[in-house]
Amino acid sequence: MTNPFQPPAVFHRWGHRLTATLVGLSLAATLAGCGSPEASATQNSEDLPVVLTTFTVLADIAQNVAGDKLAVESITKVGAEIHGYEPTPQDIAKASKAQLILDNGLNLEAWFGQFVAELEVPHVVLSDGIEVMDITEDADAGKPNPHAWMSPLNVQKYVANIRDAFIELDPDNREHYTNNAATYTAELQALQENLLAGLSGLTENERALVTCEGAFSYLARDVGLREKYIWAVNAEQQASPRQIVSVIEFVQENKVPAVFCESTVSDAPMQQVVQGSDAVFGGTLYVDSLSEADGPVPTYLDMIRHDSDVILEAMTGGTE
Q: What whole-number distance in Å separates Cα of residue 267 and Cα of residue 281?
A: 9
Residue 6 clears pLDDT 80, i.e. is over it:
no
Among the residue ranges 72-86, 216-230, 288-302, the one predicted with the least confidence is 72-86
| Phi and psi, residue 95, nearest 5° | -65, -35
Residue pair 271/260 in contact by the 8 Å Cβ criterion = no
Residues listed for the chain: 320
pLDDT at 79: 80
- State the distance between the two ends of the chain, measured CA to CA, in whole angstroms: 6
3-class SS of residue 47: coil
Residue 127 clears pLDDT 70, i.e. is over it:
yes
Maximal CA-CA distance, the chain: 61
Query: What is the average per-residue pLDDT within 146-175?
Result: 97
Helices 89-96/25-32 angle, 10° precision: 60
pLDDT at 96: 87
Neighbours of 291 (CB within 10 A): 18
pLDDT at 277: 97
Whole-structure pTM value: 0.82
What secondary structure does DSSP assign to 140-203, as a single string?
Answer: GTTSBP--GGGSHHHHHHHHHHHHHHHHHH-GGGHHHHHHHHHHHHHHHHHHHHHHHHHHTT--
Q: Which of 233, 203, 197, 202 is nearest to 217 (CA)?
A: 233
pLDDT digit string, tens, across residues 52-87: 999 999 999 999 999 999 999 999 888 877 777 888
Q: What whole-number distance in Å separates Cα of residue 54 and Cα of residue 112?
A: 8
Helices 152-169/56-66 angle, 10° precision: 60
Residue pair 163/268 in contact by the 8 Å Cβ criterion = no
How sure is the predictor about 46, in pLDDT bands with cuts at 50, 70 and 90?
low
Q: What whole-number distance in Å separates Cα of residue 231 and Cα of residue 238?
A: 9
Q: What whole-number distance in Å separates Cα of residue 156 and Cα of residue 316?
A: 30
The alpha-helical segments, DSSP class H, found in 33-145 are 37-42, 56-66, 89-96, 112-117
Query: How is residue 73 annotated by DSSP?
Result: E
Give the pairing of strands 100-103 and 208-213: unpaired
How sure is the predictor about 237, in pLDDT bands with cuts at 50, 70 and 90?
low
Residue pair 287/83 in contact by the 8 Å Cβ criterion = no
